[in-house]
A and B are shown apart, each in its own frame.
Chain A
Amino acid sequence: MRKRKFVTAVAVALGVALTATACSASGSGDDVIKIGTVHPLTGVNAGDGAQLENGAKLAVRDINAAGGIKALGGKELAIDPGDTKGSAKTGQSEAQRLVSGGAVALIGSYQSAVCANVAVVAERNKVPYLMDICGDNSILENGYKYTFRMQPPNSRFGASTADYVKAVAEQAHRPITKVAYLHENTAFGNGVSKAFAARAAEIGLTMGPSISYDAASVSDLTTQIAQVKSSGASILVISGYYRDGVLAAKAVQTVKPNLDAVVGAADGAFDQPQFPTDAGRAGNGYFDVNYHINDKSKKGQDFVKAYTAEYGDAPRTGAALAYDSVMVIAAAIEKAGSDDPEAIRNALGKTDVTPVVLSDGPVRFSETGENLSTLPVLTQVLDGAPHVVFPEQFATKQIVFPAGPGR
């Protein structure tokens, strides 16, 4: 009996935990144009969700301070927030709630599984959805008409990482013997690692072991790093999230594999401002190929200053992507001279917003909705902070290579 009680309790609790959803009232009023945000404000990803949300709020503040939407007589923008809690199902119901509440566009959502569900809502309701962070290629392979992406897709990260690693090693006259890959085992990690392997085969890099792990449950990566060590690889590429990125760095510090470099491929940790603090000495010299705030542009510097002043915290690139997303939508409303979702969608491709995030010119979208101006860059942790080191025209510090642990 007791056994049954225990097992029943576990089953019921899992059910409750999975179906718990929020019902929060949204403010209404016709004097503002509402943009719905669908971010994880609570749950495991709440830290990043808050950054994204803050970035979007900052953009709205800037636009309203500059006189609102001029084409509509200075009408102001407002954020209508939705909390996905990191769950695709909740994200979908939140998106539906926001659209029903009068949001003329959606931005979000940080996790690809959530984005895929929100995109369905956007398409069904014919409301433009601008994905700030969402790497999964397959979302935009559905022939969607209202869904657009700001960040580079996973395939782009994988291919760029292979190219950058090879270029940097050649520059340093230090041939790569073998590349080991450690990645988390959902669409993100699998997608990036596959794209890397494909590109690596094209440009002649030898691949070693490809090791996957479950980011949600992993509490130690020592064994995986021991596998990397015994493979004799000289480069370790990692695609993971923040918490497991720190675990990986600490495991590398303990096991001390004979590496020339640890390189993140769109890794969620190695280019973050707080990573050097959390990882300590273990994080020295780590590379990451990621989207990044343009530290060299005045716009980028102003954004960092404004964000830090407003929220008392350094912005991560996600915050900048959300900021850029709101700016693009605002520009589309301005261009269309209307806050009708269909008109906004049609004007999205005709704006000339230069993003805060490093890019190859103003935001422009492909047929499928990919942002063609995105530009992944290589960052490296040097002197306790991540800096852009490659490509050279964006570099703010000299690259250090080899930069393996224990060197």
Chain B
Amino acid sequence: MSPTQTDTNTLASIDEVEAGTGARLMKNLRSSTPALIMLLVLVALFVAALLRSGSMAITGQALLTGIVTGGVYSLLAMGLTLIFGVLDIVNFAHGAFLTVGLFVTYQVVESTGWNPYFALPIAIAALFIIGMAVQFFLLHRTMGGGLESQLLITLGLSLLIANVLLMIFRGDPLSVNLTSDPGVNILGAVVSRSHIIAFVGALILAGVVYLVLDRTPFGRAIRAVAASSQGAGLVGINVRTVYAVTFGLGAACAGAAGMLIAPFTTITPTAGDQFNILAFVVVVMGGLGNVMGALIGGLIVGLVEQLGGVALVGQSPLLGVFLLFLLILLIRPQGLFGGKSS
């Protein structure tokens, strides 16, 4: 393999295929002062929140809530970044995929009476199939073309999904309730058990996606296609299948995130919208196409949202997130864990 690919700001540059993303991440972490700056920003926000609220209990609560909600952002953003890294598609239907995950969960619980967590494999499978079908039948013919067609297709798809759900389930808010969802006390801060399950579940699933990409032959094929679809095709990889499976995998991440948040959110046809924009912020922050970056970026966004909400009283909690987003675009436009700018 010769290093012909110069764009290192992707899921899989050639040396990455050889060295593995883990090693590259470590290298980047060591060499990246932005990561340090990020840490400093978080510490500063923590102190600001502490001073502003004058209470360790509130700040600790913000810290815990931030980490727990950030885990879900991570899983969602991971799917988005995977699709962008491999297929070069900006998927605006990602939030809508999360919504489908919510409704699959609702429908499973409604028709079987099971505990909602039994819907997790069903939601993952359903979104995997939907994602594959979308890529195979809708998006494949646009591959390599201008970005407008993919943009309009995914945006149109998100509107279509929201309106089909509206037609079937109507606009009234729905919910799946756990019989019991006690608060768990962690060092004086509380978090409901369903939040903990969502966080742990998201981390496990994110780990699985990472391992699939990093350690399996199929993951190697995905990374090869990401690096050079033409080259991968020449060595016998079925590029169209890899594209479809990758998109399916990305959609499945959104579906899993939807199921995991279902017990503590309100289910409406537009429920995914609020997560969509956050996922995009996480993806840019973590480095476009960088799966591990998405994981860490999600946690950072969750923390900044919560700590910022306490520190910047009276503002939208998202203000802090967008300020940080601008800061990152200024000091490190390739994202925290992206390679040097191309």
Give the shortest distance, in Å, between B255 (CB) and chain A (any CB).
17
**A-chain residues with CB within 8 Å of residue B170 when the two chains form the complex:** 46-47, 50
B7 and A214: CB pair below 8 A?
Answer: no
Q: Is the CB of A213 within 8 A of B183?
A: no
B175 an interface residue at 8 Å Cβ cutoff?
yes
Give bound CA distance, A247 to B264, whole Å: 7
A219 touches B274 (CB 8 A): yes
Contact in complex: A242, B273 (CB < 8 Å): no
The minimal Cβ–Cβ distance linking A305 to chain B, given in whole angstroms, is 20
- Assess the A227–B151 pair: CB atoms within 8 A: no
Closest B residue to A213 using CB positions: B317
CA distance A280 to B159 in the complex (A): 31
Whether A13 contacts B316 by the Cβ 8 Å rule is: no
Contact of A274 among B172, B191, B334 (CB under 8 A): B172
* Complexed CA–CA distance, A43 and B165 (Å): 11
Contact B183 A2 (CB under 8 A): no
B58–chain A nearest beta-carbon distance, Å: 5
Question: Which stretch in B118-126, B137-145, B203-211, B306-314 binds the other chain?
Answer: B306-314
Whether A185 sits at the interface, judged by CB under 8 Å, is yes
Pairwise interchain contact B84-A6, C-beta atoms closer than 8 A: yes
Decide if B258 is an interface residue (CB 8 Å cutoff).
Answer: no
Residue contact B317 to A214, C-beta cutoff 8 Å: yes
B151 touches A220 (CB 8 A): no
Stretch at the interface among B12-20, B61-69, B216-224: B61-69
Most buried by A among B55, B264, B342: B264
A278 contacts the other chain (CB 8 A): yes
Residue interface mask A233-260, B partner, CB < 8 A = 1: 0000000001100110010011110000
Number of interface residues of A (CB under 8 A): 54
Q: How far is the CB of A239 from chain B (nearest CB, A)?
A: 14
Asked whether A28 is an interface residue with its Cβ less than 8 Å from the other chain, the reply is: no
* B266 and A278 contact, CB distance less than 8 A: yes
- Contact partner of A250 (CB less than 8 A), chosen from B147, B171, B192, B269, is B192
Residues of B within 8 A of A49 (CB): 171
B162-207 residues at the A interface, CB under 8 angstroms: 162-163, 166, 170-175, 177, 181, 183, 189-192, 195
Of A217, A223, A253, A277, the contact of B318 (CB 8 Å cutoff): A217
- List residues of chain A with CB within 8 A of the CB of B177: 277-278, 280
Residues on A with beta carbons closer than 8 Å to the beta carbon of B181: 250, 253-254
Q: When each residue 179-197 of chain A gets 1 if its CB lies under 8 Å from chain B and 0 otherwise, what string results? A: 0000001000000000000
Contact A42 B163 (CB under 8 A): yes
Tell me how far the C-beta of B3 lies from the nearest C-beta in chain A, rounded to whole angstroms. Answer: 18
A198 at the interface (CB under 8 A from B): no
Query: Contact: A242 with B173, CB < 8 Å?
Result: yes
Decide if B266 touches A254 in the complex (CB within 8 Å). Answer: no
A42 touches B266 (CB 8 A): no
16 examples of A-B residue contacts, CB within 8 angstroms: A1-B7, A3-B9, A7-B284, A12-B151, A16-B152, A46-B268, A211-B313, A216-B274, A219-B274, A220-B195, A222-B61, A230-B53, A243-B271, A246-B173, A253-B181, A254-B190
6 shortest A-B CB distances, which residue pairs? A46-B171, A47-B171, A214-B316, A226-B61, A254-B183, A47-B172
Q: A2-B289, A10-B280, A255-B61 are in contact. List 14 more A-B contacts (CB 8 A).
A: A3-B341, A6-B283, A7-B284, A10-B90, A46-B270, A217-B316, A219-B261, A220-B264, A227-B55, A246-B175, A247-B266, A253-B183, A256-B183, A274-B172
| Residue ranges of A at the interface with B (Cβ–Cβ < 8 Å) | 1-3, 5-10, 12-13, 16-17, 20, 42-50, 185, 211-214, 216-220, 222-224, 226-227, 229-230, 242-243, 246-247, 250, 253-256, 274, 277-278, 280, 313
